[in-house]
Structure formats: structure tokens, C-alpha cells
Amino acid sequence: MRRGLAIVNMLIFVVLFSLLAATMLGLMSSSTRQIEAAVRRIRGWYAAEAANTLAQDRLRQNQALAASYAVPWSIDEGSGAVVGATNVNVTTSAGGICPAGCICLNTTSGYTSIW
């Protein structure tokens, strides 16, 4: 009789700990997805800022702007070669909220992972 109760108790503990482990795994997975989404947003913002700086520099030097730029994102430290890049679209507008005689830049990056 005692052996039967010990097996039942053991099975209950195994089930409870399995449920606890599954819950913890689900929470960690959700947190990991949120962190990855935040990292992608930050990378996209920095890529757009890089293209914005490039476009401003080209305007300062009276050079033509391209509709999009490939911003190097990942560089091999050994050879210095660009491993991956993300495209950033650049549009300009005059007037509207821009002061008179100024050009407004709008840079958007649809960043996706390059790995």
C-alpha cells in the first residue's frame, strides 16, 4: 500500500514540476522575442540615421541624392569586408513643415536580420 502511495506522490510531483518548467520556458521564449524585436527596431533606427547623415553630407557638398542607400551593417574584423548591409530609402520634400529654403529628409529602413 505504501509503495502505491509513493508512486502516486512521485507522479504528482513530476507532473507539477513539468508544468512549472513548461511555464518558465514559455515566459523565457516570450521575453526573448520581445528583446529581438527591440534590437531590430534599434538597428533600423541606426541604419536610417546613418543614411540620413550620408544624405546630409551629400547635400552639403551639392551632390545628387540617391533614392536608397545600402548601409553596411556587419563587417568582418579580419578582412574589413562588408558581410551584410541593409537598404535605407531616402525621400526629400520642400515646404510643409520645412522652413523656407530648406529640404526635409525622410529616411526609412525596413531592417531585417542579415544573419
Q: So where are the chain's domains?
A: 2-109
3-state SS, the chain, equals: CHHHHHHHHHHHHHHHHHHHHHHHHHHHHHHHHHHHHHHHHHHHHHHHHHHHHHHHHHHHCCCCCCCEEEEEEEECCCCCCEEEEEEEEEEEECCCCCCCCCCEEEEEECCCCCC
Average pLDDT, the chain: 80
65-80 residue pLDDT tens: 888 887 777 777 778 7
Q: 112: pLDDT confidence band, cut at 50, 70 and 90?
A: low
User: What does pTM read for this prediction?
Assistant: 0.58
